[in-house]
Chain A
Amino acid sequence: MAGADVSFFSTCIVDAVSGAVGRAAVRVLERLGHRVTVVAGATCCGQPAWNSGFADEAARVARTTLRALEEAGDGPVCLPSGSCATMIRVYWPEMFQLVGDRASATRAERLADRVVEFSELAARGPRLPGKFPKRVAYHSSCHMTRELGIVDQPSGLLDGLEGCRRVAWASDLCCGFGGTFAVKQPEISVAMADAKIDSLLASGAEMLVGCDQSCLLHLEGRMRRRGVALPVRHLALVLDQAWEGPAT
């Protein structure tokens, strides 16, 4: 596939605390032949407010991001988050309808067709050679798995790396982050993380890999508190490292 002009929406979590994930994702996409522009002016997809029941507030923020994404170009809009991609692709049209903004709903529907999650876009590209000799546990995050049906792409990318082995574990069990759920019901949220981490530890994995930085930060935060030192990486970082080649 020829490279495309890709608009990259880094998302708020990456902007705030995981800039390296955004930079790695951009490098990976460029290595696949895409011309990548990081969208200036995009803020947040609005999901935290939407999932808390505040549709008007979510729509207000989403309008800013919608405009920025439209102005950035006509090519694929790539996000390093299955959850934010779901929000835009699945929920934006419904959300704008609900708050009575039909014009934005129509625009959101048009945009939805262009939105791709990072691994989805990366899996379309040429399969680059790379080594990653590790046993990894892949976290199949909820919205990405159940709403977008993106499962084979990230697994395929990991399996394509030389030496990389995916372990069997509770991959598609919810980690308990759930946006504001993590702070509204912290006890349940942490207990859910523990169930996930127990399965991770029993799996023999050397690394936890996922496509949603929010889930990963929640799990990593819990692991640190429990004294578990297993590394946690967004798939973009894994691919960036593996495809970089041994010499560089």
Chain B
Amino acid sequence: MSGSGLRARARRAVADRDLARALAGATDHLASKRAQVIDGLDNWEQLRHSARAVRERTIAHLPEVLARLADRVEAAGGRVFFAADAVEACAYVVEVARRRGAQRVAKAKSMISEEIGLNRALEAAGLEVVETDLGEWIMQLAGEPPSHIVAPALHLSRSQIGGILSRHAGEELSDDPAALTAFARRRLREVFLSAEVGITGCNFAVAETGTVCVVTNEGNGRMVTSLPSVHIAIMGMERVVETWEDLDLMLSLLPRSATGQALTAYTTMVTGPRRSGEVDGPDEFHLVILDGGRSGILGGPYRAALSCIRCGACLNVCPVYRQIGGHAYAATYSGPIGSVISPLLFGGEACELRLASSLCGACYQVCPVMIPLQDLLLSLRRDAAATANRSERWLWRGWARMWSSPRWYRLTIRLAGVGARFIPGRLVPRWGTGRDVPRPGRDAGS
């Protein structure tokens, strides 16, 4: 009974002291940088309200906006593929790479490609895939998925990272960040120069011009979109804005919320393939737009979750995420937003994530597009209650019957008081393993 997936993973995570240290340091760092840069703005709340309105407006007529986007991408010489699910999306990408006779694929960071398992699909087709975002590359070498939407290797310490890169290098590297970065740069440069296909995610696609916007801090996004002869961008169908004006607003929120930067080091805009007269850029450009369950969310009570711009701010402030880290969620998306969208997109085991929250509301407070995450989590719990196992249902029914009667209420309260006085704390299941039981008249009230 106590061996449920989330609890078992959480138990392992909270027992891992290295993880606790890395998580505390990294989330504190990101959250405080965010707070600093936002403290310097006097219109942050206004920006949040505007951003929510823009996102809601776009999501409300998503099919038309996506149709316009597809038109513009094609007008710019690119190709657009609407993928219903992960299988279709992967098959399309593999097919493009095959047709071009590619051996090697360079990737910039993309959570969508994690969601659809693209690396596995490409490798199964005999291609070599190399992640070129430093954190993502480290995770690829470690054979693990990213643990954070924005900072994939956030859960690792410097020495752990040194170990992973040393194993890859076949020699002992120092764990000095500058040395490790220099090593990564040398290795990844070979990849940029030799890859025939470049794959990126898409922070925002701008419908009015068919432009794909990718924000990075390492410049790898720019390499991947300009050096290989084919560029494939993959996006969830909700990651679209209508105009450059909307993009401007989103870009004033995303880097600040994600990393506490007014702007990231590189904001790359790509519109179609290389045009005649241009010196660099791919000769093929593809945009893969993934549904993957999103259209099912569109018309329902969870629509606000599609407003998410994947900044990761809710992860950094979430007291649950800060204790267990991303891997304990066992889903591509972790933290509060992951606990909402993972059950909706993936179902199955991920449904349990509705319980990975104390409903403290810290997530909503920082969300740049004001998604009411705790309300959506509550709603997921209500949906689950409708099909809850019989024992939990009867427990609440019995409780409701007793506590809707003042007389029964007084009786059970008295019994609870007596129980608390005499039952040894350690014997109280689920409470007593880590906490003493309050003693009436003694604790916090004597």
Which chain A residues have a beta carbon within 8 Å of chain B's beta carbons?
A: 12, 15-21, 40-44, 48-58, 60-61, 63-64, 68, 142-143, 146-147, 173-174, 176-179, 181-193, 195, 213, 216-218, 220-222, 224-225, 232-234, 237
**Chain A CB within 8 A of B361 CB:** yes
Partner of A181, one of B322, B357, B388, B401: B357
Digitize B257-269: 1 where CB-to-A-CB distance is under 8 Å, 0 elsewhere: 0000000000000
Contact check, B319 vs A147: say whether CB atoms are below 8 A apart: no
Partner of B359, one of A41, A49, A178, A217: A178
B320 touches A (CB below 8 Å): yes
Q: Across the A-B interface, how many residue pairs have beta carbons closer than 8 Å?
A: 197
CB atoms of B403 and A64 under 8 A apart = yes
Q: Tell me whether chain B's interface is mostly helix, strand or loop, or mixed.
A: helix
**Segment touching A, from B6-14, B80-88, B156-164:** B6-14
Interface contact B440-A18, CB-CB below 8 Å = yes
| CB contact between A234 and one of B357, B409, B435, B444 (< 8 Å): that residue | B444
Interface string of B319-346 (1 = CB under 8 A from A): 1101110000000000000000000000
Residue with the greatest number of chain A CB neighbours at <10 A, chosen from B7, B14, B409 = B409
Binding site for A on B (CB under 8 A): 6-7, 10-11, 14, 24, 319-320, 322-324, 355-362, 364-365, 378, 380-385, 388, 392-393, 396-397, 399-401, 403-406, 409, 413, 416-417, 420, 425, 429-431, 433-441, 443-446
CB distance from A177 to the nearest CB of B (A): 7
A20-B445, A44-B403, A233-B444 known; A187 and B358 CB under 8 Å? no
In the complex the two chains form, is B431's CB within 8 Å of A52's CB? no
Q: Report if A222-B434 is in contact (Cβ < 8 Å); known contacts: A44-B403, A232-B444.
A: yes
Say whether A53 contacts B382, CB under 8 Å.
yes
A17 is contacted by which of B360, B362, B405, B417 (Cβ under 8 Å)? B417
Contacting residue for B434 out of A18, A57, A190, A233, CB 8 A: A190
Which residues from B are CB-within-8-Å of A237?
Answer: 445
CB distance from A73 to the nearest CB of B (A): 17
A183 to B428, CA, bound (A): 10
Check if A15 sits within 8 Å of B413, measured CB to CB: yes
- Which chain A positions have C-beta within 8 A of B396? 49, 52, 54, 57
**B436 and A221: CB pair below 8 A?**
yes
CB distance from B390 to the nearest CB of A (A): 13
Q: Report yes or no: A146 in contact with B362, Cβ–Cβ below 8 A.
A: yes
A51–B381 Cα distance when bound, in Å, is 8
Tell me if A12 and B444 are in contact (CB < 8 A): no
Q: How far is the CA of A191 from the CA of B178 in the complex (A)?
A: 34
In the complex with contacts A57-B397, A221-B438, A213-B358 CB distance below 8 A: no
Residue of B11, B358, B420 ringed by the most chain A CB atoms within 10 A: B358
A43 touches B406 (CB 8 A): yes
A222 CB contact (under 8 Å) in B400, B420, B435, B444: B435
Q: How far is the CB of A172 from chain B (nearest CB, A)?
A: 8
- Beyond known contacts A51-B359, A195-B322, A225-B434: 4 more, CB 8 A cutoff: A40-B406, A48-B399, A57-B396, A221-B443
- Contact across chains for A195 and B399 when beta carbons are under 8 A apart: no
Instruction: Please list the 8 inter-chain residue pairs (A to B) with the smallest Cβ-Cβ separation, ordered nearest first.
Output: A178-B358, A53-B381, A221-B435, A190-B434, A53-B385, A174-B360, A57-B400, A20-B445
Contact between A186 and B320, CB atoms less than 8 A apart: no
A18, A188, A213, A216: which contacts B323 (Cβ < 8 A)? A188
Residues of A within 8 A of B400 (CB): 49, 54, 56-58, 60-61
B382 proximity list for chain A (CB < 8 A): 53-55
Residue of A nearest to B382 (CB): A53
Per the bound structure, the CA–CA distance linking A75 and B362 in Å amounts to 33
- Least Cβ–Cβ distance between A35 and chain B, in angstroms: 23
With a cutoff of 8 Å between Cβ atoms, the chain B residues found around residue A55 in the complex are 382, 385
Q: List 19 A-B contacts (CB under 8 A).
A: A16-B416, A16-B440, A17-B445, A20-B445, A42-B406, A57-B400, A64-B404, A146-B362, A178-B360, A185-B10, A185-B356, A186-B433, A188-B14, A189-B358, A190-B434, A191-B324, A221-B437, A224-B435, A237-B445
Cα–Cα distance between A87 and B380 once the two chains are bound (Å):
18
**CB of A150, distance to nearest CB on chain B (Å):** 14
A224→B436 contact, CB < 8 A: yes
- Majority-rule SS of A interface residues: helix
A191 touches B14 (CB 8 A): yes
Given A17-B440, A188-B14, A220-B444, A174 contacting B435 (CB threshold 8 A): no
Partner of A142, one of B324, B361, B436, B439: B361
A95 shortest CB reach to chain B, Å: 10
A42 partner residues in chain B, CB cutoff 8 A: 406
On chain A, the residues within 8 Å of B397 by CB distance are 57
Q: Which residues of B contact A225 (CB under 8 A)?
A: 425, 434-436
Q: Knowing A44-B409, A57-B399 are in contact, say whether A186-B319 is a contact too (CB < 8 A).
A: no
With A183-B430, A221-B435, A237-B445 given, is the CB distance from A64 to B323 under 8 Å?
Answer: no
A15-B413, A181-B357, A184-B355 known; A173+B433 contact, CB < 8 A: no
A43 neighbours in B (Cβ, 8 Å): 403-406, 409
Is B406 in contact with A234, judged by CB distance below 8 angstroms? no
B323 closest partner in A (C-beta): A191
Q: A181 — which chain B residues lie within 8 A by C-beta? A: 355, 357-359
Q: B417: which A residues are within 8 A, CB to CB?
A: 16-17
Contacts of A54 in B (CB 8 A): 382, 385, 393, 396, 400
CA distance A177 to B433 in the complex (A): 14
CB nearest to A186 among chain B residues: B430
B385: A residues at CB distance < 8 A = 52-55
- Give every chain A residue within 8 A of B381 (Cβ-Cβ): 51-53
Residues of B within 8 A of A221 (CB): 425, 431, 435-438, 443
Contact A18 B356 (CB under 8 A): no
Which residue from B319, B399, B404 sits with its C-beta under 8 Å from A173? Answer: B319
Q: Which residues of B contact A48 (CB under 8 A)?
A: 399
In the bound complex, CA of A50 to CA of B14 (Å): 28
Chain B residues with CB below 8 A from A222, complex form = 434-436
The docked-state distance in angstroms from the alpha carbon of A19 to that of B360 is 26
Of chain B, the residue at the smallest CB distance from A91 is: B378
The docked-state distance in angstroms from the alpha carbon of A51 to that of B385 is: 11
User: Which residues on A sit within 8 Å (CB–CB) of B443?
Assistant: 17-18, 217, 220-221, 224, 232
Q: Is the CB of B356 within 8 A of A17?
A: no
Give CA–CA (A159, B234) in the complex, Å.
55
